[in-house]
């Protein structure tokens, strides 16, 4: 395979992993956002439902991010090194968010939701969950806005450390990311609540999904309008090469809203995922062939074929191993109860054994 | 603080923190896999209680390990952008392998930790096996990257960039097999001793029941199985460093003059300005013997290298002490299990309750982490001033960004907070009733 094909495939892998992270890990951030916004009589049950939904899956969802990083630095070293330099501040803040979000989620689950230390970690968890995707969104906006320039040999990134990611367009991307996470999450949570037979929660999350969806659509429209001024390369891509995907995203958004209105929650879950995939795919196709506008393209940033070839092979073999395992994990924890319950669980089996001596 | 000093300090803190969680994250799955396997086979609830509790501890530790590991994969770029710009293409394949292994580990750990109420006994136990295997494999790839920094292969430097890259040659660099195995075995030793220490505390408090006995027993079995492995790999590493990084060996051992039949200077203070080692216990010819299996072999001293490439005034004595601490404790960790088994078999196969022996096990608990950190410190400081041995200086690999000092203090504070919370939770877990509780409704937890 030619160097250019390998580079394109590598970029494709990065993008696919990024999309996987957005629709899985993004929803976990969304869970934190809904935890932050939980109010009223069902607040406590909502928090419990969110924690139970995230518990078994959020760590493997988080690995998609590591996947994105590793493939990026292997296949496009100057992108990784350059972005780390140019966006030092938002990345550092996002890393703090990632560390605190994950650790605080686990600490809260272990301390107890409504006990002193658990409450404090709960606040850390939900705040970090809201801040982190916002920062990711601003970074995505910064990459296509033209504020990061590369000079010298080997190329080094130059950018204003503060303004690059705080343009109106970048900020609107941050808000859009936040909105997308909360829509995905509310939709998934509504289905989970159906599985658990909690009708009040189904209603609550369904309503939230619709409201968040409407807000996100407005933010998305503003972001698109700002893109036409501040990120013209992306804008022309979105209404040019990526137009079918852009239109599909809009139509799927409307279809998701309709499905939520009609209470077809499982359909809505599929639609919202496909919509998110279309949005991110449209973005990717839109900025093609740039990785960082305007100096870095897939071809001029790629590692040599001797690096890309083996990496792609390892990634593909890895995915063949991973995806069935991931599918099984999701089936066990996310499918309808009757599809997943074995005849005896470990817990039931252990309760039939001789009781152990009680000590304290 | 200058950027490169702050970058070093930041990554040092992150890795010193991460290595503890990573080591337990590799070792504990083996413990709960074995315990649950026995419980399933013998239909024994006590083993299940042990497996369940280790899985809860592993759950807490794995999360902190995973988030600090995620942070590390950003920190490489934030703090070491010039190193990554140069090297990430060369070492990327190892990270890719590691990423895949880690992904598999996270998926099956999710099944294992949360599957007590969802999976059949057999499937649940089976789901622990990929966790054990992929955790071990992930460590091998990540340590291979560190080994590559010691013995870089698989590329050529042309105009300051790495070209003619052969990622497999980089992965199988000379230091990789020994260094990676050393770390893996150390992870199992750490876990074995740490677990034994926890249950030895219970035994000292008079809880001489099956639950505590088996906790001590399985910890000691793991520590014992690793004795010959670590002894072999340890000497392999010594020889490897002597051949591949003679300068590192000379610095760690405080050997200034190239010497035939070189003595081993144990502990003491290495002073690079006077080129002396003060207050050391000197054992004749031992360094030559350990390095080349020949008491009269010539060991290259620091005099063979320009002073500009010595690890530095402040670094050498610390590297020397760290290495000796690790090696001495390593010796202790080979002896303690042997004494334990002597008592065990003399008492007709019952776990001894001899107080001094139990106290020794308790003390070994924290010491095993000291050894882990010391070994890592010796390895990292001994490589200085290079980030990639003989290719790139550490100061040339750091980011040129300002603000790294702030980064250091913020992350120091975060890691201290996480360490305090983790220890608090593990202590809480230790105080809970030793009964079988499942993941969805642990006491004191949500619902």
Q: How far is CA A294 from CA A79, A82, A142, in A?
A: 12, 13, 11
Contacts of B126 (CB under 8 A, 6+ apart): none
pLDDT at B441: 45
pLDDT at B330: 92
Where do the domains of chain A lie?
Answer: 3-352
Tokens of B427: 């202590």
Expressed in percent and rounded to 5, the helix, strand and coil fractions of chain B are: 70, 5, 20
Of A115 and A9, the one with more pLDDT: A9
Report angle CA A15, A21, A27 to the nearest 5 degrees.
140
Reported as type and span, the H/E element at residue B299 is strand B298-299
Q: Which residues of chain B have pLDDT under 50?
A: 439-447
How far from the centroid of its chain's Cα atoms is residue A50's Cα?
Answer: 16
pLDDT at B440: 44
Which residues from B are below 8 Å from A99, CB to CB?
67-68, 70-71, 414, 418
Average pLDDT score, chain A? 93
Cβ-based neighbour number of residue A228 at 10 Å: 14
Q: Sign of the C-alpha dihedral, residues B396, B397, B399, B403?
A: negative
Q: Answer yes or no: are the C-beta atoms of B362 and B204 closer than 8 Å.
A: yes
DSSP annotation of B119: S
Minimal CA–CA distance to A75: which of B89, B76, B163?
B89
Measured distance CA(B237)–CA(B268) in Å, rounded = 23
Reported as type and span, the H/E element at residue B371 is helix B355-383
pLDDT at B135: 95
Nearest residue on chain A to B72, alpha-carbon basis: A95
Nearest residue on chain B to A83, alpha-carbon basis: B77
pLDDT at A339: 60
The DSSP string of A112-165 is -TTSHHHHHHHHHHHHHHHHHHHHHHHHHHHHHTT--EEETTTTEEE--TTTTT
Nearest residue on chain A to B412, alpha-carbon basis: A96
Q: Say whether A354 and B168 touch across the interface (CB within 8 A).
A: no
Q: Count of alpha carbons within 13 Å of B439, Cβ hemisphere only? A: 29
pLDDT at B445: 40
pLDDT at A360: 41
**Angle, in degrees to the nearest 10, between helices A265-287 and A199-230:** 20
Q: To probe the interface with A, which of B52, B67, B404 has the most A CB atoms within 10 Å?
A: B67
Q: To probe the interface with A, which of B35, B61, B63 has the most A CB atoms within 10 Å?
A: B63
Nearest residue on chain B to A86, alpha-carbon basis: B401
- B407 in helix, strand or coil? helix
Q: Say whether A95 and B75 touch across the interface (CB within 8 A).
A: yes
Could you read off the pLDDT of B26-46 as tens digits, one per residue? 999 999 999 999 999 999 999
Average pLDDT over residues A116-144: 94
Reported as type and span, the H/E element at residue A206 is helix A199-230
Tokens of A278: 């279309």
Which residues from A are below 8 Å from B428, CB to CB?
110-111
Measured distance CA(B12)–CA(A357) in Å, rounded = 45
Looking at the partner chain, which of B46, B62, B121 has a beta carbon nearest the beta carbon of A344? B121
Could you read off the pLDDT of B207-218 as tens digits, one per residue? 888 899 999 999
* Cα Dmax for chain B: 69
Confidence of residue A338 (pLDDT cuts 50, 70, 90): low
Please state which CATH number belongs to domain A3-352: 1.20.1630.10
Confidence of residue A18 (pLDDT cuts 50, 70, 90): very high
CB of A80 within 8 Å of a chain B CB? The answer is: yes
Measured distance CA(B181)–CA(B139) in Å, rounded = 9
Lowest mean pLDDT among A241-255, A298-312, B201-215: B201-215
């Amino acid at each position: 395979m030619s160097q250019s094909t390998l580079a394109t495939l590598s970029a494709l892998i990065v993008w696919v992993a990024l999309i996987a992270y957005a629709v899985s890990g993004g929803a976990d951030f969304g869970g934190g956002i809904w935890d932050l916004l939980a109010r009223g009589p069902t607040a406590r049950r909502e928090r419990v439902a969110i924690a139970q939904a995230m518990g078994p899956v959020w760590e493997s969802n988080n690995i998609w991010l590591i996947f994105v990083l590793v493939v990026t630095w292997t296949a496009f070293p100057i992108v990784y090194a350059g972005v780390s330099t140019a966006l030092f501040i938002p990345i550092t803040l996002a890393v703090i968010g990632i560390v605190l979000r994950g650790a605080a989620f686990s600490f809260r689950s272990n301390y107890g939701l409504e006990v002193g230390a658990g409450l404090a970690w709960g606040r850390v968890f939900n705040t970090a969950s809201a801040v982190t995707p916002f920062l990711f969104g601003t970074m995505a906006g910064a990459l296509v806005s033209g504020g990061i320039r590369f000079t010298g040999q080997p190329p080094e990134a130059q950018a204003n450390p503060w303004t690059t990611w705080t343009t109106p367009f970048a900020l609107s991307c941050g808000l859009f990311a936040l909105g997308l996470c909360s829509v995905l999450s509310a939709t998934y949570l509504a289905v989970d609540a159906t599985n658990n037979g909690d009708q009040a929660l189904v209603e609550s999350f369904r309503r939230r999904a619709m409201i968040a969806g409407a807000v996100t659509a407005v933010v998305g429209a503003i972001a698109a309008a700002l893109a036409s001024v501040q990120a013209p390369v992306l804008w022309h891509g979105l209404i040019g090469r990526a137009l079918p995907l852009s239109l599909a995203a809009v139509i799927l958004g409307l279809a998701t809203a309709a499905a939520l209105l009609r209470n077809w929650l499982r359909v809505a879950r599929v639609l919202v995922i496909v919509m998110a995939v279309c949005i991110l795919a449209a973005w990717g196709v839109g900025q093609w062939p740039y990785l960082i506008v305007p100096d870095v393209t897939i071809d001029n940033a790629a590692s040599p074929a001797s690096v890309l070839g083996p990496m792609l092979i390892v990634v593909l073999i890895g995915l063949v191993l991973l995806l069935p395992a991931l599918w099984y994990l999701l089936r066990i924890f996310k499918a309808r109860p009757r599809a997943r319950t074995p005849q005896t669980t470990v817990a039931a089996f252990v309760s039939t054994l001789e009781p152990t001596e009680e000590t304290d | 603080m200058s950027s490169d000093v702050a970058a070093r300090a930041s990554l040092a803190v992150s890795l010193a923190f991460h290595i503890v969680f990573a080591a337990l994250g590799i070792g504990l799955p083996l413990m709960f896999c074995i315990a649950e396997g026995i419980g399933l086979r013998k239909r024994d609830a006590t083993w299940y209680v042990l497996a369940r509790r280790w899985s809860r501890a592993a759950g807490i530790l794995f999360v902190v390990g995973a988030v600090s590991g995620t942070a590390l994969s950003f920190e490489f770029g934030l703090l070491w952008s010039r190193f990554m710009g140069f090297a990430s293409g060369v070492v990327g394949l190892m990270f890719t392998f590691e990423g895949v292994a880690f992904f598999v580990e996270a998926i099956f750990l999710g099944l294992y930790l949360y599957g007590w109420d969802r999976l059949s006994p057999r499937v649940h136990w089976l789901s622990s096996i990929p966790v054990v295997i992929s955790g071990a494999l992930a460590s091998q790839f990540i340590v291979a990257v560190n080994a590559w920094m010691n013995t870089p292969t698989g590329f050529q430097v042309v105009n300051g960039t790495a070209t003619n890259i052969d990622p497999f040659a980089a992965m199988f660099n000379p230091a990789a097999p020994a260094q990676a195995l050393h770390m893996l075995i150390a992870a199992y030793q750490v876990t074995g001793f740490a677990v034994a220490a926890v249950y030895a505390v219970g035994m000292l408090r008079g809880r001489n029941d099956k639950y505590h006995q088996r906790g001590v027993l399985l910890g000691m079995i793991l520590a014992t199985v690793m004795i010959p492995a670590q002894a072999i790999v340890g000497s392999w590493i010594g020889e490897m460093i002597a051949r591949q990084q003679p300068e590192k060996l000379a610095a760690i051992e405080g050997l200034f003059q190239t010497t035939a039949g070189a003595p081993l200077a144990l502990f003491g203070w290495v002073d690079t300005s006077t080129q002396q080692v003060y207050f050391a216990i000197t054992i004749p010819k031992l360094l030559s013997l350990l390095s080349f299996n020949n008491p009269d072999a010539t060991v290259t001293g620091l005099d063979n290298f320009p002073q500009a490439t010595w690890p530095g005034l402040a670094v050498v004595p610390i590297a020397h002490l760290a290495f000796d601490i690790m090696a001495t404790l390593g010796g202790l960790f080979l002896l303690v299990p042997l004494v334990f088994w002597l008592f065990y078999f003399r008492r007709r196969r019952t776990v001894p309750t001899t107080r001094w022996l139990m106290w020794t096990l308790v003390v070994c608990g924290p010491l095993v982490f000291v050894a882990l950190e010391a070994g890592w410190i010796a390895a990292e400081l001994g490589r200085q001033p290079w980030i990639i041995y003989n290719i790139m200086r550490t100061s040339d690999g750091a980011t040129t960004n300002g603000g790294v000092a702030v980064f250091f203090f913020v992350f120091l504070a975060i890691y201290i907070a996480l360490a305090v919370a983790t220890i608090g939770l593990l202590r809480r877990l230790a105080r809970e009733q030793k009964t079988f509780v499942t993941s969805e409704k642990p006491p004191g937890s949500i619902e």
